[in-house]
Amino acid sequence: MIKRIVKMSFEYEKIEDFKKIFETNWQKIKSFDGCSHVELLQDTNNPSIFFTFSIWENEEAIENYKNSELFKNVWARTKILFNDKPMAWSLNQLLF
């Protein structure tokens, strides 16, 4: 199991546009083969910074998603709203 965190920073006036894109697509992402969980988080001190937290079966599932039409469509509409380079981490859970 892989836990994935993606940090994204948006132009303040584009936050609502991003939220609409995410809300429209999050169930589709969550239903993607190999994905068991997706959530959207917003920084408490800087409302322009968001994180997605997702849980995937393995790296292959993440790569399959990143090569899918769903990802390409969502990412194309999202990346034009950024005000900084996104960052992503794939993590293995050690203690729980």
pLDDT over 90 percentage in the chain: 96
Angle at which helices 59-66 and 69-79 pack, to 10 degrees? Answer: 70
Domain assignments of the chain as residue spans, ordered by start: 1-50
Average pLDDT value over all residues in the chain: 96
Give the residue carrying structure tokens 């940090």.
7
Residues 58-87: tens digit of each pLDDT? 999 999 999 999 999 999 999 999 999 999
Q: Which two tokens stand for residue 50?
A: 């968001």
